[in-house]
Structure 1
Amino acid sequence: MREQQTLDEALNNNKADFESMERRDRAFTRLLISTLMRRLGQIDKAINACMKRRLPAKMADVRDIIRLGAVQLLYLDTPPHAAVSTSLDLARGPKLSGNKPVMNAVLRRLSREGKDMLAKMDESQDNLPNWLWKKWVETYGEETAKAISLSHLSEAPLDLTVKESPEEWAEKLGGVVTSGNSIRLPAGTGDPVFLEGYDEGHWWVQDFAASLPALLLGSVKDKKVGDICAAPGGKTAELVTAGAKVTAVDSSAKRLTRVHENLERLQLNAEVIQADATTWQPKEEFDAILLDAPCSATGTLRKHPELGRIKRSDDIKTLADLQRELLENCANMVKIGGTIVYATCSLEPEEGQYQIERFLKKNRTRFERVPVKPQELGNADWLEMLLTKEGDLRCLPCHRHDEGGMDGFYACRLRRIA
């Protein structure tokens, strides 16, 4: 968190240690850290209530050890003696071991009084950074902001996109068909690499909401399609499976390694190019472009709750500037009559509808917005709730919450007219 890394990045940077653990211990490690990130606001509030003075910044490691014990006591139903002893075992060396009495006292009190402390808190607001809560209230209203926040407090189900036969694969894997080729497995399914069909490339992991922007391109069979900012490759796979001739572009060589690996496992072919998409241009214009722009990813806190703690409000402006450059350059990559779908997994309007308003104002003679119809997303009646009055896609994490929700996504379809 202090190094502003995602959990996946942190685990990858400690890959040898992590992969040497038993499979069950790896799963518990993820659960431990993810639950701590989901509930960090309440956990810190409870810890502070147990101390006369807050721990200074230089004692951040002490606080982290207490946090790891607290999350087990308050949310994971770990027996108190185990949660306390394993936490204190982490306090090695003279700097930390001298603080064991404080750690022990706080954890013992939390084991006795912690649940009563939690009952007096507002879990929808206390677990979000204040700037993010205020922003969502301003954008969506307090009721919806509360629903969004609450949707982040449970582990998300596992969504897969299958190449074909979704009903058959849903039955094999113990899931249900969400819509189209997307199937959903229960939360707690575990590491997908151990599921049937992974090694054979029958499916890939992709949140249901993330599978929708590609549908806005319509039929892409035999069309030349640019997947801009393509890593890790889920949308590339979706487009290739639909019959498109895909060029996948990303600026990161490291992230493109994932694209190559996924395409190889899925036995799919696409042209993969490392380039800066704010300036790169194809040799021939594309029939269609899917721009899944880099963003704050605040729509993905269900799966990556740590993002709420490592992102800052200033990041949004920086990312919005990058998104604007990408969209302006993509405008010159597509044929007249061709389509651009702009998408972000952000809940912030600066990275969604405000970008489109600015772009259309500047390019009113070159591009037009093409509203999306509900039936383009699938056959289910409830899909209509995912569309704005302008006809853009706007998924919220609280949509279909009782069925597991979905990531927050925004997408707009544009057509080049001149």
Structure 2
Amino acid sequence: MDIPGLPARRAALNLIDAVLRRGETMEQAASSALARVRGDADRALAKAIASEALRWRVDLDALIDGATRQRLPDDAKPRAVLEIMLAQALRLETPPHAAIATGLPLLTGGPRRLAHGVFSTLMKQGASLPAVPTLPEPVQERWGERVSAIAAGLALPPPLDLALRDPDTTSEWAERLGGVSLAPGHVRLSRGTPVEALPGFQEGAWWVQDLAASLPARLLGQGAGRRVLDLCAAPGGKTLQLAAAGWDVTAVDISKRRMERVASNLARTRLSANTVVADALDWRPEVEFDAILLDAPCTATGTCRRHPDVLHRIGPRQIAEMADLQARLIARASEWLSAGGKLIYAVCSLETAEGEEQARQVELSADPILVDEVPEGLCVRDGWLQTDPGQLSAQGGLDGFFIARWTRS
């Protein structure tokens, strides 16, 4: 007999396994892991369980280890099942009996009895999680003194940010949508409402884009018909911003599928850009550009509040690979600027090797970012803009980004 909710828990277990054992992103693993889960609600539940288990994994494991006589191996299935059971009970407000009913069937024999005993013991003891998740040791070592502030921004899943096609309508849309604005052209909403059901979606009045992700394009200002190159453009939020600001946009990305999404959003918002599917390391433009925005491929550790899998699958190898690619892309982009043209380099990463260390190697004239160019409460350091999930935490936080700007003399 089928147990209601069991497929969602099995899918959550598979998502976690894909992240921890194969190093996949949850997005990459979703198609296979969720194949047997019916209904949008159960699919969303599976993702929520896996995300919370990964977000709080260090603290969940501490509870498990404190309730077992002999430490379970890190890759033991009973540990993973206990993680998802505890994540439900302690983070998703699932009644303990429901967590047991849908968790224990994932195990058999002795492991099932062990998991039942550990979970029941913890519930009887009134187990709880700290106010802020503890990050894995390698992450703490890399992020150093910033780690406490960043961790504080991970305690809750992020709200929904919208970027408006017309910044002059900010107050109107904030009121209509029941949200708040932290900058012109931005509205922040609480999570939960399907995006397609919100007012303004069909008419293309806005698109989904984290406030931090909107900052690189904001730093280029109004285009007035000048040429801008959006490199590594997909999924297209910055392309839409630049087009809405009056730039003559050429958007380049290596992924045909992702560029089809960009084209779809351009059509929905009634904005225009020249889209090119190409590898930026091989492609060569026919003209120079007044501005280039390089939102480079990166480890995406700055998205950890919405993608907690990055806390567990990113390490020195991935960081070094991305840093090498970023350096080559910066060198290519620098060749295509017209005299006086501006280059914006951005990564949604919290890694020094992808941010400050890259910026120090650029052989263009620095064009420092100024405090009054960014929303209040953000950090401009050494002329570079750095955001992290701990900033604006009272308003819901934001993704971690490193952004720098130069001018070609």
TM-score by length of 1: 0.87
SS of 2:250's equivalent in the other structure is strand
Rate the CA distance shift 1:289–1:15 in 2: closer, same or farther, 3 A.
farther
Rate the CA distance shift 1:123–1:325 in 2: closer, same or farther, 3 A.
same
Query: How many Å apart are 1:10 and its aligned residue?
Result: 2.4
Rate the CA distance shift 1:134–1:176 in 2: closer, same or farther, 3 A.
same
Indicate the larger mover: 277-286 or 327-336: 277-286
Counterpart AA for 2:41: R
Who is 2:338 aligned against?
A: 335
SS of 1:272's equivalent in the other structure is strand
Task: Give RMSD over aligned pairs.
Answer: 2.0
Query: How many Å apart are 1:156 and its aligned residue?
Result: 0.8
Instruction: State whether residues 63 and 127 of structure 2, in contact with CA within 8 Å, keep that contact through their aligned partners in structure 1.
Output: no
Who is 1:87 aligned against?
A: 103
Summarize deviations over 1:31-52 as a string: whole Å, max 9, x none: 2222112111111121122222
Matched, 1:245 2:261: no
Who is 2:5 aligned against?
A: none
Counterpart AA for 1:78: T
Instruction: State whether residues 343 and 412 of structure 1, in contact with CA within 8 Å, keep that contact through their aligned partners in structure 2.
Output: yes
Query: How many Å apart are 1:113 and its aligned residue?
Result: 2.4
Query: How many Å apart are 1:102 and its aligned residue?
Result: 1.6
Who is 1:128 aligned against?
A: 135
For 1:161 and 1:13, locate their aligned partners in 2 and report how far apart those are by CA, in whole Å. Answer: 32
SS of 1:160's equivalent in the other structure is strand
Indicate the larger mover: 23-32 or 333-342: 23-32
For 1:14 and 1:268, locate their aligned partners in 2 and report how far apart those are by CA, in whole Å. Answer: 36
Query: How many Å apart are 1:240 and its aligned residue?
Result: 0.8
Matched, 1:73 2:65: no
Matched, 1:10 2:29: yes
Instruction: State whether residues 323 and 353 of structure 2, in contact with CA within 8 Å, keep that contact through their aligned partners in structure 1.
Output: yes
Matched, 1:277 2:280: yes
Who is 2:13 aligned against?
A: none
SS of 2:343's equivalent in the other structure is strand
For 1:108 and 1:314, locate their aligned partners in 2 and report how far apart those are by CA, in whole Å. Answer: 40
Counterpart AA for 1:356: A
For 1:15 and 1:123, locate their aligned partners in 2 and report how far apart those are by CA, in whole Å. Answer: 29
Matched, 1:33 2:50: yes
Instruction: State whether residues 228 and 289 of structure 1, in contact with CA within 8 Å, keep that contact through their aligned partners in structure 2.
Output: yes
For 2:32 and 2:217, locate their aligned partners in 1 and report how far apart those are by CA, in whole Å. Answer: 32
Instruction: State whether residues 159 and 207 of structure 1, in contact with CA within 8 Å, keep that contact through their aligned partners in structure 2.
Output: yes
Q: Percent identity?
A: 38
Matched, 1:352 2:349: no
Summarize deviations over 1:173-228 as a string: whole Å, max 9, x none: 11011101011112x33432332222322211111111111121122121111100
Structure 1 stretches of 4+ with a deviation exceeding 4 A read 13-18
For 1:154 and 1:98, locate their aligned partners in 2 and report how far apart those are by CA, in whole Å. Answer: 35
**Which of these residues, 55, 59, 63, is aligned with residue 42 of structure 1?**
59
SS of 1:179's equivalent in the other structure is coil
**Which of these residues, 187, 194, 199, is aligned with residue 196 of structure 1?**
199
Rate the CA distance shift 1:258–1:12 in 2: closer, same or farther, 3 A.
farther
Who is 2:159 aligned against?
A: 157
Matched, 1:174 2:157: no
Who is 2:208 aligned against?
A: 205
Counterpart AA for 2:44: A
Who is 2:391 aligned against?
A: 399
Rate the CA distance shift 1:344–1:77 in 2: closer, same or farther, 3 A.
same
For 2:329 and 2:298, locate their aligned partners in 1 and report how far apart those are by CA, in whole Å. Answer: 12
SS of 2:140's equivalent in the other structure is helix
Counterpart AA for 2:187: I
Summarize deviations over 1:280-314 as a string: whole Å, max 9, x none: 21011111100001111111111111111121122
Instruction: State whether residues 55 and 309 of structure 2, in contact with CA within 8 Å, keep that contact through their aligned partners in structure 1.
Output: yes
For 1:114 and 1:310, locate their aligned partners in 2 and report how far apart those are by CA, in whole Å. Answer: 31
Summarize deviations over 1:126-167 as a string: whole Å, max 9, x none: x31211101211xxx2xx421111211211111110112121
**Which of these residues, 365, 369, 384, is aligned with residue 366 of structure 2?**
369
Who is 2:308 aligned against?
A: 305
TM-score by length of 2: 0.89
Rate the CA distance shift 1:17–1:203 in 2: closer, same or farther, 3 A.
farther
Counterpart AA for 1:404: G
Query: How many Å apart are 1:14 and its aligned residue?
Result: 5.0
Counterpart AA for 1:387: V
Who is 1:100 aligned against?
A: 112
Instruction: State whether residues 74 and 111 of structure 1, in contact with CA within 8 Å, keep that contact through their aligned partners in structure 2.
Output: no
Summarize deviations over 1:321-363 as a string: whole Å, max 9, x none: 000000000011111111110011111121112111112xxx2
Counterpart AA for 1:159: D
Indicate the larger mover: 266-275 or 349-358: 266-275
Who is 1:63 aligned against?
A: 79
Which runs of no fewer than 5 residues in structure 1 stay unpaired? none
Rate the CA distance shift 1:63–1:15 in 2: closer, same or farther, 3 A.
closer
